[in-house]
Amino acid sequence: PVTEDYNQLIIEAGFGLGEAIVSGQVTPDSYVVEKEPRKILDINISTQDRGLYRASTGGNEWRDIPEPQASSQVLTESQILDLSEIILTIERHYGFPCDIEWAYEAGRFYILQSRPITTLKNTKTVDNNHTKLGPISDYTRLFQFPTLPYLLNDMLLRNYTHLKCVFLFKDNVWISYLLNEVISQTLENGLAMFSDAKLFKKWSDEFEAYKEKAEKYFIDIIKQKELSKKDIEKFVELGCKCHYFYIKTEFFYTDKVYKESKKNPIVEKHVRRFEDIKNNGRAFLNKMALEQDSYFMKVIFILSKQFNLPVTTLLQYDMQELIDLFEGKKVSQEILNSRLSAYICIADGEKSTTITGKIAEEAYNNFFASVDKNSIELNGVIANKGKVTGRVKMMFYGFNNFHSVGQLMNEMKEGDILVAETTSPEIMPACRKAGAILTNEGGLLSHAAIVSREMNIPCIIALGNLDRILKDGDMVEVDGDRGVVTILKKNQ
């Protein structure tokens, strides 16, 4: 953290228990190691005249360290390089630099704890090659959340790091994108699950069990006046697991499943059951974390009082930083401010890169540079055929905030082209008025696709970035036979 160089690691070592180093009561040796090529750059030896040791009667005790041991190097150069290899193995596993507590006893190293280093100023140190996201055409947008707290996003993001995806934050909006190649593979997995009765039952039973277990724990935890480190760790674990089960449902809406369900009764049965599970899952996710009165927010209010920190400040922490509060560690205002301006996380398999501040803003702007706002033709997936011309009515609202929906539906006129992130039962009155439906997201089993077939109106889905290209009053032609939207006239 001191050098801000991702190609270096710093090892501190002292005689006795590490608690003395963490508390600052002894000055340890420090060794700087270059990762690639692997070599020791600097050795700084300190004199340690006392150390903290386990007492035979229980507890800890200070003991004097005599010369020449007091002035000797704690780790040999060979041990430094061996420990460096262990540290780098852990970093490669997690995909980010780690703060690692270790011990050496009887000729062996032991890893006691590992956590992300949260004080690195990514805006100064991230390799530019890691921030190249484009073109946007290689991705499909999954979710958009207005004003989602950094803390909550961090919890949700943990379920995507094994995928090739991008999370972006700017102007109080979180957006997630997944590489098209990953979606193709996930769709195959969805079809396999729907076709296998045992696999589907296992998945649905596990989902329900985790929901029940999590809700019971959440109800108990919010009754407490103060929380412990273990309380928060379990809260995060259960929350992440529930969300992990839910996000799978977003990838299983496929045309392959739809076609297969028409000829395979097992698939058809599972699709009907799946709809119930998905709707219940989304309702629970809202109750768990996304509503104003969610379990998540109640936990934040408890911690706000417990640590005398504003709720708005805590919402800018990540999950590990929240846990670190119990060890007296707080995040600097400088880091919090950089997250508020812009934030990007690029996940690629087991590795992920997080950037904030100016570099994140530049990467964000470059990512969307390929979105041609002046384009007159947009291409998507045909959900229902037909051809109409009409006036655009934008219907974008928060995943969990439907306060403005009533007003938007009242503004909509018969025959308007409904344009939305996705549709849901809440906006059925608008769907009934629509001459056609266009959505950024969705598959052939999505709500928009099913509703458009029932009402026999054109529907094109998975268009991607309609809210960046269209606005209220634009005149468009929707060609559901070709999956093409043509902009006839922009509303000035």
Q: Which residue matches tokens 């009533």?
A: 406
Lowest mean pLDDT among 116-130, 315-329, 350-364: 116-130
Higher pLDDT, 5 or 350: 5
Q: In the structure, what pLDDT confidence band is assigned to residue 308 with cuts at 50, 70 and 90?
A: very high
366 within 8 A of 355, measured Cβ to Cβ: no
Range of the domain at 470: 377-489
Mean pLDDT confidence for 456-483: 89
125 within 8 A of 360, measured Cβ to Cβ: no
Residue 38 lies in a domain: yes
Are residues 100 and 204 located together in one domain of the fold?
A: no
pLDDT in tens, 79-94: 999 999 999 888 777 6
Are residues 198 and 293 located together in one domain of the fold?
A: yes
Given a cut of 60, whether residue 370 has pLDDT beyond it is no
Q: Which residues pair with 12 in a beta bridge?
A: 30
Asked which of 87, 117, 147 is the last residue of a domain, the reply is 117
Integer CA distances (angstroms), 335 to 174, 199, 210, 279, 372, in order: 18, 44, 34, 37, 33
pLDDT in tens, 193-238: 666 778 778 877 887 887 888 889 899 999 999 999 999 888 887 8
Q: What is the pLDDT of residue 152?
A: 60
Most confident range (mean pLDDT) of 111-115, 159-163, 440-444 is 111-115
Q: Is 425 exposed, middle or buried (0-12, 13-18, 19+ CB in 10 A)?
A: exposed
Count structural domains, the chain.
3
Q: In the structure, what pLDDT confidence band is assigned to residue 151 with cuts at 50, 70 and 90?
A: low
Q: What is the pLDDT of residue 309?
A: 92
Are residues 386 and 364 located together in one domain of the fold?
A: no
Residue 1 lies in a domain: no
Are residues 320 and 218 located together in one domain of the fold?
A: yes
Residue 2 lies in a domain: no
Q: Which residues pair with 393 in a beta bridge?
A: 418
Q: In the structure, what pLDDT confidence band is assigned to residue 183 with cuts at 50, 70 and 90?
A: low
pLDDT in tens, 15-74: 998 877 765 567 788 898 988 788 998 888 888 888 889 888 888 888 999 999 999 999
CA atoms within 13 A on the CB side of 276: 6
263 within 8 A of 271, measured Cβ to Cβ: no
Are residues 414 and 310 located together in one domain of the fold?
A: no
User: How are beta strands 436-439 and 417-420 bridged, if at all?
Assistant: parallel
Residue 97 lies in a domain: yes
Residue 336 lies in a domain: yes
Q: What is the pLDDT of residue 2?
A: 41
Are residues 391 and 243 located together in one domain of the fold?
A: no
User: How are beta strands 60-64 and 377-379 bridged, if at all?
Assistant: unpaired
Q: In the structure, what pLDDT confidence band is assigned to residue 458 with cuts at 50, 70 and 90?
A: very high
What's the CATH code of the domain at 90? Answer: 3.30.470.20
Are residues 97 and 17 located together in one domain of the fold?
A: yes
Q: What is the pLDDT of residue 59?
A: 83
**Helix residue ranges per DSSP H, 426-470:** 428-433, 447-455, 466-469
Given a cut of 90, whether residue 437 has pLDDT beyond it is yes
344 within 8 A of 360, measured Cβ to Cβ: yes
Are residues 253 and 281 located together in one domain of the fold?
A: yes
Nearby residues of 196 by Cβ (< 8 Å), 6 or more positions away: none
Residue 274 is inside which H or E element, if any?
helix 265-285
Centroid of chain to Cα 165:
9
Lowest mean pLDDT among 190-199, 227-236, 352-361, 367-376: 367-376
Q: Which residue matches tokens 């963490």?
A: 22
Instruction: Give the number of other CB atoms < 10 A from CB of residue 263.
Output: 8
Q: What is the pLDDT of residue 15?
A: 93
Tokens of 19: 């608690």
Concatenated DSSP letters for 125-154? H--GGGG----GGGEEEEEEEET--HHHHH
Q: What is the pLDDT of residue 1?
A: 43
Higher pLDDT, 152 or 97: 97
User: How many residues can be counted in the chain?
Assistant: 492
Lowest mean pLDDT among 16-20, 49-53, 107-111, 178-182: 178-182
In degrees and rounded to multiples of 5, residue 410 shows phi and psi of: -65, -35
Produce one character per residue of 351-383: b if its CB has 16 or more CB atoms within 10 Å, e if not. ebbbbbbebbbbbbeebbeeeeeeeeebebbbb
Are residues 284 and 202 located together in one domain of the fold?
A: yes
Are residues 422 and 391 located together in one domain of the fold?
A: yes
User: How are beta strands 343-348 and 351-356 bridged, if at all?
Assistant: antiparallel
Given a cut of 80, whether residue 142 has pLDDT beyond it is no
Residue 428 lies in a domain: yes
370 within 8 A of 135, measured Cβ to Cβ: yes
Are residues 173 and 135 located together in one domain of the fold?
A: yes
Asked which of 95, 117, 139 is the last residue of a domain, the reply is 117
**Is residue 140 left, alpha or beta, with left meaning phi > 0 and alpha meaning psi from -120 to 50?**
beta
Q: Which residues pair with 378 in a beta bridge?
A: 485
First to last CA, the chain: 51
Asked which of 68, 91, 117 is the last residue of a domain, the reply is 117
What's the CATH code of the domain at 406? Answer: 3.50.30.10
Q: Which residues pair with 356 in a beta bridge?
A: 343
In degrees and rounded to multiples of 5, residue 419 shows phi and psi of: -120, 125
408 within 8 A of 434, measured Cβ to Cβ: no
Q: What is the pLDDT of residue 64?
A: 92
Give the residue from 485, 491, 479 showing the smallest Cα distance to 463.
Answer: 485
Residue 3 lies in a domain: no
Are residues 157 and 305 located together in one domain of the fold?
A: yes
Residue 357 lies in a domain: yes
**Is residue 335 left, alpha or beta, with left meaning phi > 0 and alpha meaning psi from -120 to 50?**
alpha
Q: What is the pLDDT of residue 468?
A: 81
Mean pLDDT confidence for 448-463: 87
